[in-house]
Structure 1
Amino acid sequence: MTCSQPTSSAYRGRFAPSPTGPLHFGSLVAAVGSYLEARSRHGEWLVRIENLDPLREVPGVSGEILSILDAMGMEWDGDVVYQNKRHKLYKAALATLERQHLIYTCTCSRKEIADSTIMGIDGPVYPGTCRGRSLHKGRLGAKRLRTDNKPIEFNDALQGRVRQRLESAIGDFVLQRADGVFAYQLAVVVDDAEQGVTHVVRGEDLLSSTPRQIYLQQLLGYPIPSYLHIPVAVDAQGTKLSKQTCAARLNAYDPVRQLMKAIRFLGQRPPAELINEDIASFWKWATENWKQEMIPRKTAEIC
């Protein structure tokens, strides 16, 4: 559902699901958290479909995501943005970094990287194998961004102070795959800047990605948004709810009950009788009573 008139506000948030499968409870938690942060501050809330990889996109899911958000009474501002229509923007940003001599072609396979490096906070640390190589012009490979070991620091609104040295924790990271698909790290930075996003609210599982994004923002001269990483929902085995683990899909039936569960997961304390009210009444109460300081910091098992 699109709001008829976007509000004029210094706060602009967003929800950016990937259409690799239907929304589940963990998706709803992220959507509700970002929505209430925006609406409680009289801000805008954008929706962006992150469909960079055509091989992973499930046909029809983008429309289903929007239908579920509509059924949940979540109104977005402006038009929905689709990443697969924004390749020119990503290509221009990559060209800017190439002019700074920060991009090189990498032909290493995943196995080669795994066999020759150590594990970091987000998988194998790329050891810089191709950084100094002279490859034949036009040879296919991934486009990597040179990093350094200067600390990237930021203050997360919930998780507190975060500090990371990219070269030792991550290594030079991919901005465009060998098959031409742009990487999430580049696309999300370009999109947030181009859309004027001021506040990013998302799952704590993406916290380790934020220093890479701030590094890109600095190199590209983009403003750095405020970040808030909320807890992610896990199952009884401690595994994050996701499409890959076949988490139960949301449905359009009884939306208030599902929304009540989501805000309770986020530490809010709605009155029990609210479950019998309509969606408009739910959102009125939730927006007026939203308290960021009540959000728990870490992952939690759903009931």
Structure 2
Amino acid sequence: MDGATVVTRFAPSPTGRLHLGSAHSALFAERCAREAGGRFLVRIEDIDRARCRPEHAAAMLEDLAWLGLAWDGPVRVQSEHSDEYAAALETLRARDLLYPCFCTRTDIAREIAAIGGAPHGADGPVYPGTCRAMAESERRARIAAGEPHAFRLDIAAALASVTRPLLCEEVGEGVFEADPAALFGDVVLARKDTPASYHLCATHDDALQGVTLVTRGDDLKPAVHLHRLLQALMGWPVPRWRHHALLAGPDGRRLAKRDGSLAITALREAGHSPAEVRAMAGFPDKA
């Protein structure tokens, strides 16, 4: 790949303050772009309206700038583009690849127990497909009655509609075949309170923004399998992926937003310099 074409992104969800672990991810993405002579983008993934806050987004951007990160072009804010995600969902719905699911978590647990268990996927037990075979008349009646529901991807139908194998490239590890059925099953792509899932929005935006190298933490590595399928379904370009180890604290636990003392804002207020905080995040300045 021509180094000039490398485009990376840092795409946090503003559910809290930027912390050292997130700073590590941002600095990692920026370094990958700059070392290749490419572009580094910032995107705010705030589609989850119940958990995301605009004040957190503003603080994150302020902290990133304070750390010395400079991104190329305007910041894309997902909540401003809900119509685009709705259009992507409609494309899948028009191809009969989505179905409404009325199951609660309790319903799913009960069904799994009744059938003696379910395979364990990336997000827990794989959905057993309870609502997949529901008659269309019943679906319409329940939706018309205002019954809460999500929309799930019919993974078998989706896989049958694309050319396989679905190949992915992990930088430093090589090419592998995606297996979204085993890891995700009939994954939820939209809910009443979240008009589109992280998976759909992220892959849509990566394609729209021309991202060629997706960098993120190892905890999101399984998502590659589902994202590769969505790219095939929608005809979106396929990037490469590069995952990094998660930053851990002295106790060996993954750094997270719940530890307020590791928030960049708190470190700033404690008198640390940008260089010191970059070093704490695993990116000491070169001598």
Give TM class, smaller chain. 0.7 to 0.9
| Contact 2:41–2:75 (CA under 8 A) maintained in structure 1 | yes
2:153 to 145, 148, 159: 145
Per-residue Cα deviation, 1:6-53 (whole angstroms, up to 9, x for no partner)? xx9411111001100011111011011100000111111110011111
Within a 5 Å distance, the mapping from 1:43-82 to structure 2 comes to 43-82=38-77
Aligned counterpart, 1:226: 240
The code of the aligned residue for 2:247 comes to A
| Contact 1:35–1:74 (CA under 8 A) maintained in structure 2 | yes
The code of the aligned residue for 1:256 comes to A
Q: Distance in 2 between matches of 1:245 and 1:175?
A: 30
Indicate yes or no: 2:182 matched with 1:168.
yes
Per-residue Cα deviation, 1:78-121 (whole angstroms, up to 9, x for no partner)? 11110100111101111111121101000111122233142323
The code of the aligned residue for 1:55 comes to A
1:166 Cα deviation (Å)? 2.2
Pick closer, same or farther for the CA change 1:127–1:91 going to 2, 3 Å: same
Give me the TM-score of the superposition, normalised by structure 1. Answer: 0.79
Aligned counterpart, 1:210: 224
Unaligned runs of 5+ in 2: none
Pick closer, same or farther for the CA change 1:68–1:59 going to 2, 3 Å: same
Q: Distance in 2 between matches of 1:161 and 1:244?
A: 36
Unaligned runs of 5+ in 1: 1-7, 265-269, 271-281, 287-303
Aligned counterpart, 1:295: none
Larger displacement relative to structure 2 (153-162 or 91-100): 153-162
State, as a whole percentage, how many aligned pairs show the same letter: 36
Within a 5 Å distance, the mapping from 1:96-135 to structure 2 comes to 96-115=91-110, 116=112, 117-118=117-118, 119-134=120-135, 135=138
Q: Distance in 1 between matches of 2:123 and 2:172?
A: 21
Q: Distance in 2 between matches of 1:14 and 1:195?
A: 9
Q: Distance in 1 between matches of 2:220 and 2:237?
A: 19
Pick closer, same or farther for the CA change 1:78–1:103 going to 2, 3 Å: same
Within a 5 Å distance, the mapping from 1:1-303 to structure 2 comes to 9-115=4-110, 116=112, 117-118=117-118, 119-134=120-135, 135-137=138-140, 138-139=143-144, 140-148=148-156, 152-235=166-249, 238-244=252-258, 246=260, 248-251=262-265, 252=268, 253-263=272-282, 282=285, 285=286
The code of the aligned residue for 1:234 comes to A
Q: Distance in 1 between matches of 2:131 and 2:252?
A: 37
Give me the TM-score of the superposition, normalised by structure 2. Answer: 0.83
| Contact 2:247–2:281 (CA under 8 A) maintained in structure 1 | no
Q: Distance in 2 between matches of 1:33 and 1:242?
A: 17
> Which of the pair is proportionally richer in helix?
2
Q: Distance in 1 between matches of 2:88 and 2:66?
A: 36
Larger displacement relative to structure 2 (59-68 or 148-157): 148-157
Pick closer, same or farther for the CA change 1:226–1:38 going to 2, 3 Å: same
Larger displacement relative to structure 2 (147-156 or 106-115): 147-156
CA-based RMSD of the aligned residues comes to 2.2
